[in-house]
Amino acid sequence: MNSTYIIGEIGQNHNGSVDIAKLIVDLVARPVHDDACNLDLRPMDAVKLTKRDLNEELAASQMNRPYNSPHSFGKTYGEHRAFLELSDEEHLEVYRHAKTLGLDFVETLCSVGCLSLLKLLTPDKLKVASRDLTNLPLLQAMAETRIPIILSTGMAGKKELDEALDVITRYHSDISILHCVSQYPTMPDNLNLNTITYLLKHYPQYTIGFSDHTIGIAAPAVAVGMGARIIEKHITVDRRMKGTDQLGSLGPDGVNRMIRDIRLAERWLGKEDLYIDPAVASAKVKLERSIATNKPLPAGHIITESDIHLLSPGDGFKWIDREKVVGKTVTTDLLANEIIYPQSIK
């Protein structure tokens, strides 16, 4: 059984607080138990933070515009973004906390200036946000580190993806590609999970996954069934908190249920084969049909096809083997509607 790599994306749901970020890390690392099947299930594998350099983020006019949203943390959009940024040292603190809990740490870097973070820590993977798939200078700088890279395709077609891959593969090929739709939340008719099949077919040398922005937990489990090996989902400790991403994220119960469904889906998939599972052996005996008498048959009677039909249980002769019954002699009186076993005929 291949385990899906599940990433809990904190994004900006920490609301500028290291303590909240660490609480979300605790949520990611929490063990999961399925009561119905009495199974302890593997929790999430990684947590992800995002690092921005506000000097390379938006045009000055956009940074200085008033930001009056109920979710604003500043009078201007620039002040809002600055409030939500964790320093390099704060990222390191969250990184160390994740590592003590056995989690991988993934970092989205949004500009070349953000690579300063790598002086303090080495993420297990680097993430390229959908909006930066065409930011080729950033891709080159990230690829030069030779840290495994995850690409999101939320704003890209094949041309943009191929151009990004061309830059990165000059340095290494440890690349994952996530199907993604940059609509928050993503509407059902826009999700197009068949893109996962497309990516598996056309980019088989890379790990293919799914970054989900739908409301709910169904889409990730479906994506796993279609072959996604990485799932990324926004999470939070409380969906009612202030912040634009909180409501579209999974809270603690949602995280638990999504992990449960993904881990069970991994088990559901099994192997590509058609076979009789040992778990159905008793049901097979109980419910399948065997050749039986349709009337009383006295000892010495030679059985004809008109003497038999099929009844449960399934521990006798099958219809495909009726030549082993028809033409044989009954050795002991048989009642009507009883299974004909080998010891009753010769």
Residue 133: the pLDDT is 96
User: CB 171: neighbour CB atoms within 10 A?
Assistant: 15
For residue range 117-157, what is the model confidence (pLDDT) as tens digits? Answer: 999 999 999 999 999 999 999 999 999 999 999 999 999 99
For residue range 307-325, what is the model confidence (pLDDT) as tens digits? Answer: 999 999 999 999 999 999 9
Tokens 């990611």 correspond to what residue?
A: 28
Averaged pLDDT for residues 33-40: 89
Residue 296: the pLDDT is 97
Q: How confident is the model at residue 245 (pLDDT cuts 50, 70, 90)?
A: confident
Residue 190: the pLDDT is 96
Q: How confident is the model at residue 54 (pLDDT cuts 50, 70, 90)?
A: confident
Residue 275: the pLDDT is 87
Q: How confident is the model at residue 242 (pLDDT cuts 50, 70, 90)?
A: confident
Q: How far apart are CA 110 and CA 127, in angstroms?
A: 9
Give me 110's structure tokens. Answer: 């949004």
Long-range contacts of 321-329 (CB under 8 A, 24+ apart): 321/291, 322/291, 325/291, 327/302, 327/303, 328/302, 328/303, 329/300, 329/301, 329/302, 329/303
Using the predicted structure, report yes or no on whether residue 1 has a pLDDT greater than 70: no
Predicted structure pTM score: 0.88
Q: How far apart are CA 28 and CA 103, in angstroms?
A: 8
Q: How confident is the model at residue 293 (pLDDT cuts 50, 70, 90)?
A: very high
Averaged pLDDT for residues 252-275: 92
Q: How far apart are CA 328 and CA 346, in angstroms?
A: 6
Q: How confident is the model at residue 37 (pLDDT cuts 50, 70, 90)?
A: confident
Half-sphere exposure in the Cβ direction for 154 (13 Å, CA)? 21
Give me 307's structure tokens. Answer: 């003497």
Residue 35: the pLDDT is 87
pLDDT, mean over the chain: 94
Residue 57: the pLDDT is 86
Asked whether the CA dihedral 76, 129, 264, 22 is positive or negative, the reply is: negative
With b meaning 16 or more CB within 10 Å and e meaning fewer, what string describes 199-208?
A: bbeebeebbb
Q: How confident is the model at residue 55 (pLDDT cuts 50, 70, 90)?
A: confident
In contact, 99 and 105? CB cutoff 8 Å: yes
Q: How far apart are CA 238 and CA 170, in angstroms?
A: 42
Q: Specify the pairing of strand 125-128 against strand 149-152.
A: parallel
With b meaning 16 or more CB within 10 Å and e meaning fewer, what string describes 59-92?
A: eeeebeeebeeeebbeebbbbbbbebbbeeebbe
Q: How far apart are CA 307 and CA 293, in angstroms?
A: 6
Give me 270's structure tokens. Answer: 């099994």
What SS3 state is found at 23?
A: helix
With a pLDDT cut of 70, the percent of the chain lying above it is 100
Averaged pLDDT for residues 220-249: 93
